[in-house]
Amino acid sequence: MPEGSKNLVVNAFLTGQNSDTGPEMNYVSTPTNPRPIPAPWQRTAGGLRVEDISYPLMSSKRTQLAQPNNTNVIGLAGDTTAGGGLGTLSQDITLKRGGYMVARFNSCRNLFGTCYTTEGIVSVSVNGQHTEFTDTGGASAAASNWESRQFIIDTPIPGPLNNCQLSFSAIAPDRVRQDCGSIISSMELHYLYAAQGVLTSPASEDDIIAKANGNFPVLTFLISEGDSAKGDPGTPLSYASVDFSISQNGSGTAFHNNGVSVYTYTAVCDDKGYVTIPAGILVAGNKAGSEVLTLTVEEDIALSSVGVTIRSGTPPVFETMQSLTSEIDMVPTSQYIVEPIQFEVQYLSGGVMADLSGASVTVQITQNDTPITSQGNPYFKEDGSDPAFEITRITNDGGTITTPALYSSVLTGAYKIHGFLTDYPDISADIDLTVLSINRFDPTTQNQEATWGTTVNNSWSVIAYDKDGKPAVNQPVQFRISQDTGDASFVATGTREATGVSDARTGKVVVPALLTKMTPGTFRIRITGNTGTPLAQINVTVLENQIPAKIEFHNPLPDLSSMAGQKLYPTISVGITDINGQDLRSGQVNFALSGSSANSAFISPPAGENVVDIDSGIAIMPTIIIGTSGTLIITASMDNYNLSVSHDFSIN
């Protein structure tokens, strides 16, 4: 017999906290010392005890359960005085549908003291139906085993299911004392039979059909408990709450709720178990195709899936449609004013095409063949109306429609203005729409050099501008390396492609770090906006690796004798040449300060040395603060090549 999947007990596991440090590591909750199970379970009579599952006896028993890590346990007991009130747990729940249900839990005889030598009877009472179960004892705690318990509940209509109770039987009371009582775990309440939905109107799924953008017929289903043909009760579920969902396979079919398209719809059965989707609620989309309508009853397992079909085909008058507007380029947050945006509809008349008036045309803004629905994208707007991503117009005597004003928003990218006959969406035409953000780069072309087998980082850049000549800030940029006789790859991706974003203030676009290959030659770096335009290009010549051979200060050097405590701005530089006497194209020089002039240091970072990039054979020492009187020694070195030069300055 199939079972519904919903656990109806609000608090699925019986849980509690134990703060008692007594020898048995359990406690009794009494009127003067209440320790109730968390809501919604309530203690309605007698004492209740939470057994500590870390106690060795309980821990060993807990591991015998099917899901030991998801199961807590509780003891039902009376007060500490023998013969006192019997322990009871109670909970009220509300059912969204009626029917046959099965309640399940596990129970065993308490393991503490000598409780396990006797029997105990645990009582279950739900909605006036009563069942008792006997927990048998044994000669030892190990002989007291878990028993799986279940009982059937028949509640034909939905509504409150009050006073669900777990307690001791008043007929055969337990030995009521602190260390006795039955142990209960994992109270659950499930539907015994899965609900079922059967289409009753229209008579066949083949009749659930609509034209594009049209209404589907009234749909009626009979909701029952299980399938009577399979031996299930088949009882109609009066007043059950039913959820409908549509599959979203691409046709655009949806439920219409106060003008808003949604993909789920909830209705309630009548007293005979019938549930209805009225006409005008389920509306076909604008594309031909098939969708699946699925029914469920309040989180129960799936009931029935029926097909719905959207019809489309060739119009009876052989209509055609075309756009009268060329492709559109816009920048963000602007209005398109170059020309009207128009579509034309014609039909075959007497062997020639003639303009068709009175035809309904729907126009959507789409991206990747999907209608736009979110803010930030292009939209239509008429005076006094809200922005719209979709509009419908009727062709005039000339067979044309004109859209409202088109505006771009903050997002950039490639879109289409998609027009189609409202009743026949296969008759359509498109206008390409591109929202450009970056209007141009400066410079558009530049030539650079790099050494083979080296990383070039933060060395090359362009500035992005919008159509008004202002920096195009925070805009996505794409980089692509086109190899020629030389080659390189971007460090971050390991490929010839990378992305970046223009600077938030200046619009500067910096080429990401790249690694040149061990081959001399040339390659190009193409820089574009996210739409593929505009274009800037950096032509890179890859040169053989240079070996530095000489480093020397440029003369004349400044007189620092009277500059104690003052800043020395970048006026000292060194020249670096290779073994052929050519200026070194790239590399780094380390400037260091030493000597008896105390507190001399670089400004940024504030330290005694600083590393500087070489540009065209020159490295310029950054700003320093000159310290006290004494000797200041400035050293420029390339440690990897064992090259250095020093000069002593006297500070008075």
- pLDDT of 388 over the 80 cut: yes
The amino acid sitting at 311 is R
pLDDT at 21: 32
- pLDDT of 327 over the 70 cut: yes
Of the candidates 494, 290, 299, 321, the one whose C-alpha atom is nearest the C-alpha of residue 393 is: 321
pLDDT at 472: 87
pLDDT at 627: 95
This prediction's pTM: 0.43
Token duo for residue 16: 């509690």
More confident residue, 581 or 60: 581
pLDDT at 158: 80
- What are the extents of the domains in the chain? 42-191, 195-311, 320-435, 440-543, 548-651
DSSP bridge pairs for 349: 352
| Mean pLDDT along residues 114-137 | 82
**Confidence class of residue 102 from pLDDT cuts 50, 70 and 90?**
confident
| Mean pLDDT along residues 435-443 | 88
As a CATH number, domain 42-191 is 2.60.120
Of the candidates 407, 416, 430, 391, the one whose C-alpha atom is nearest the C-alpha of residue 330 is: 407
CATH 2.40.30.20 fits 320-435, yes or no: no
**Confidence class of residue 173 from pLDDT cuts 50, 70 and 90?**
very low
**For 1-15, 129-143, 577-591, 599-613, which range has the lowest pLDDT when averaged over its residues?**
1-15
- pLDDT of 570 over the 90 cut: yes
Strands 360-367 and 370-371: antiparallel
Domains 42-191 and 440-543 share a fold: no
One of 2.40.160.40, 2.60.40.10, 1.10.3720.10, 3.40.50.150 is the CATH number of 195-311, namely 2.60.40.10
More confident residue, 446 or 469: 446
pLDDT at 105: 86
| Mean pLDDT along residues 267-289 | 89
Strand order in the sheet with 567-568: 567-568, 624-625, 601-602
CA 260 to each of CA 283, 386, 387: distance values in angstroms, whole numbers, following the listed order? 11, 15, 15
pLDDT at 13: 42
As a CATH number, domain 440-543 is 2.60.40.10
Strand order in the sheet with 260-262: 260-262, 254-257, 282-283
Exposed e or buried b for every residue in 187-212, given b needs 16+ CB within 10 A? Answer: bebbbbbbbbbebeeeeeeeebbbbb
Q: What beta strand segments (E) does 379-520 contain? A: 379-381, 390-394, 400-402, 405-407, 413-421, 424-435, 440-442, 445-451, 455-456, 461-465, 476-483, 488-490, 497-501, 508-510, 514-516
Separation between Cα atoms, residue 179 and residue 122, nearest integer Å: 16
- pLDDT of 24 over the 60 cut: no
- pLDDT of 82 over the 50 cut: no
One of 1.20.120.420, 3.40.190.10, 2.10.60.10, 2.60.40.10 is the CATH number of 548-651, namely 2.60.40.10
Helix H, strand E, coil C: the string for 208-270 is CEEECCCECCCEEEEEEECCHHHCCCCEECCCCEEEEEECCCCCCCEEEECCEEECEEEEECC
Give me the chain's average pLDDT, please: 82
- pLDDT of 435 over the 90 cut: no
